[in-house]
């Protein structure tokens, strides 16, 4: 069977999707959307109470369409146990979305060793462990799609959220390398680099002046906009990379291509970001 025939069969049958970070934000939205589109979904999160609150009463539970699993993405053994369970029950995996992430604003020289480990363990190791296992299984199948959520902060370094930015650079590099390695196997890898998304992760940054650059765009993306891009573009066309919105991506790439320009750009964008932070905090009171 060639890769095109494999993809056609995936569309004709009930596909299986595994998501991390399903308890809130983008992961929660995507989990609901995959269910609505008829997928069998394995929804995972380290926050088991959040999973139950979000999906515990879903009708899909009784029909076997939704499996809730507590998962610490930073632990390779936890990933291995999860995959053993998933493959025993479903014998296949069509899509994996590594959505789970962590961010705490702050200056790099002030970051504790705990924060360094936490950013790299969740954002980088979590993506690598899940992608490795998914890639090995999909390579055997001859089809599948690995989708990793990076960030515009993985295209150009962002001071104030430097650990997060560094971790997303790693996610992007890993994903693009993996895409080349798996291409001949009929397995697609897509890394998505979105601007700020209106989720709890964005809200927590409102009170940190160090994170002002996060708010320098004209508007934040909604989870609906990102989900629509995934279903209408990523799953259909299977690009190696998708940047949202594209114009901000070009700005980030210019900053990365000419690092010295970041000193000028950052000062301009920081002022804009501080104004937006102030506006957002005002709306809360």
Which residues are annotated as catalytic? 164
> In this structure, are residues 125 and 221 in contact, taking their beta carbons and an 8 Å threshold?
no
Rounded to 10 deg, the angle between the 162-182 and 126-141 helix axes is: 10
In whole angstroms, what is the distance from residue 193 CA to residue 148 CA?
9
> In this structure, are residues 233 and 208 in contact, taking their beta carbons and an 8 Å threshold?
no
In whole angstroms, what is the distance from residue 198 CA to residue 222 CA?
5
In whole angstroms, what is the distance from residue 216 CA to residue 195 CA?
10
Cα 15 to chain centroid, rounded: 20
17 three-class SS: strand
H-state helical runs in the chain: 3-12, 25-36, 48-55, 76-90, 113-119, 126-141, 162-182, 200-204, 223-229, 235-237, 246-257, 261-283
């Amino acid at each position: 069977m060639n890769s095109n025939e494999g993809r056609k069969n995936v569309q004709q049958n009930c596909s299986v999707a595994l998501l991390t970070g399903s308890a809130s934000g983008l992961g929660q939205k995507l989990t609901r959307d995959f269910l609505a589109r008829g997928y069998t979904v394995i929804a995972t999160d380290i926050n088991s109470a959040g999973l139950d609150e979000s999906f515990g009463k879903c009708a899909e539970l009784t029909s076997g369409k939704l499996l809730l699993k507590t998962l610490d993405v930073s632990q390779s053994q936890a990933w291995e146990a999860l995959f053993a369970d998933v493959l025993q029950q479903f014998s296949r995996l069509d899509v994996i979305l590594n959505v789970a992430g962590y961010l705490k604003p702050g200056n790099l020289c002030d970051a504790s060793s705990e924060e360094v480990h936490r950013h790299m363990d969740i954002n980088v190791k979590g993506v690598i462990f899940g992608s490795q296992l998914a890639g090995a299984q999909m390579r055997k199948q001859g089809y599948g799609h690995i989708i990793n959520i990076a960030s515009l902060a993985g295209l150009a370094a962002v001071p104030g959220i430097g650990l997060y930015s560094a971790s997303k650079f790693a996610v992007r590099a890993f994903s693009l390398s993996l895409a080349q390695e798996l291409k001949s196997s009929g397995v697609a890898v897509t890394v998505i680099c979105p601007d700020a998304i209106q989720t709890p992760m964005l809200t927590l940054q409102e009170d940190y002046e160090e994170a002002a650059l996060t708010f320098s765009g004209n508007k934040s993306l909604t989870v609906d906009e990102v989900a629509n891009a995934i279903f209408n573009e990523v799953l259909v066309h299977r690009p190696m990379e998708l940047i949202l919105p594209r114009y901000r991506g070009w700005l980030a790439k210019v900053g990365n291509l000419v690092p010295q320009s970041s000193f000028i750009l950052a000062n301009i964008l920081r002022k804009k970001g501080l104004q937006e932070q102030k506006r957002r905090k005002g709306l809360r009171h």
